Amino acid sequence: MLDIRNVDTAYGSVPMLRGLELAVRPGELVCLLGPNGAGKTTTFMTICGIVRARRGAVHVMGNDIAKIGTENLAGLGVGVVPEGRRLFPGLSVLENIRLGYDAVSNHGDQFDKQLDRMCELFPRIRERLKQAAGTLSGGEQAMVALARALVGNPKFVVMDEPSLGLSPKLISEYFGITAEIHRRGTTILLIEQNAEMGLKIADRAYVLVKGKVAQEGPAKDLAASRVTAGLYL
Ligand code: ATP
């Protein structure tokens, strides 16, 4: 689903990712952890083709992102949840979700059915479909951003710090839904700062420190590891 090989990125002359190696196999839920400024969002942007690798290669669903471009990711079956949700605040909840569907062109006219599925997964969305997205609470916006990523039935979803700013109760609900989506067969890369919650639902995890993978392995092992605790937890 994702293969990042020996990738370097830089902002101007300042190096950021340094020899990054990361892979996500079909069916996995992989968590990418790391402290502030470690390069997690830069990794997200590199996967999406917004930040270009200066060295190495990023393949998404077997395609070189440098060749296919960001705009073709949805059509390949990749859903994304960017940091800060990035909803269109003046558009309604329905219109925001519709954008996620329309970005995937090969579905035919099944939007109503797909919207129904999203409302089952996120019951609070149904009563707010006509409301402007910018007027929703943070928790509701987080659900809409996830619905927008899922409405086109992606095979692979990449999420950048989706729990940021949510209350502990909502964080727990959000991680529960993420685990459920994974159980239903979607492959997930979850980029997170909340190591405790991330490691609970992930199969494998990576810890990113200063643009490099400092540790990787089964989530259970990392949760129990003193090295991880020293590095990050
Ligand atoms: P956080 O958890 O705080 O969001 P992060 O792990 O996602 O952190 P990044 O957002 O990838 O970290 O940023 C890594 C470093 O790159 C930071 O020091 C940041 O200031 C810098 N950086 C990010 N974007 C740019 C940019 N467009 N131009 C210059 N520097 C940038």
Q: Would you say residue 72 lies in a domain?
A: yes
Q: Count up the domains in the chain and report the number.
A: 1
Rg of the chain, C-alpha, whole Å: 17
Instruction: From the CA of 39, give the closest atom in ligand 1.
Output: 11
Cα of 217 to ligand 1 centre, how many Å? 25
Q: What CATH number is associated with residue 26?
A: 3.40.50.300
Considering only CA atoms, which residue is closest to atom 31 of ligand 1? 11
Q: Would you say residue 105 lies in a domain?
A: no
Query: Is the pLDDT reported for residue 36 higher than 70?
Result: yes
Mean pLDDT of all residues belonging to the chain? 91
pLDDT tens digits along 109-153: 788 899 999 999 888 899 999 999 999 988 899 999 999 999 999
Q: Would you say residue 166 lies in a domain?
A: no
Query: Is the pLDDT reported for residue 176 higher than 70?
Result: yes
Percent of the chain whose predicted confidence (pLDDT) is above 70: 95
- Provide the pLDDT for residue 164: 86
Instruction: State the Cα–Cα distance between residues 218 and 89, nearest whole angstrom.
Output: 39
The torsion defined by the Cα of 190, 184, 1 and 165, in degrees rounded to 10, comes to: -20
Q: Would you say residue 88 lies in a domain?
A: no
pLDDT tens digits along 3-23: 999 999 999 989 899 999 999
Q: Is 154 in the pocket of ligand 1 (CB under 6 A)?
A: no
Q: Domain containing 225: what range?
A: 1-76+193-233
Considering only CA atoms, which residue is closest to atom 28 of ligand 1? 11
Q: Would you say residue 43 lies in a domain?
A: yes
Q: Would you say residue 212 lies in a domain?
A: yes
Cα of 92 to ligand 1 centre, how many Å? 30
Q: Which residues of 146-181 are buried (b: 16+ CB within 10 A; e: fewer)?
A: bbbbbbbebebbbbbbbbeebeeebbebbbebbbeb
Q: Would you say residue 5 lies in a domain?
A: yes
Q: Is 39 in the pocket of ligand 1 (CB under 6 A)?
A: yes
Q: Would you say residue 9 lies in a domain?
A: yes
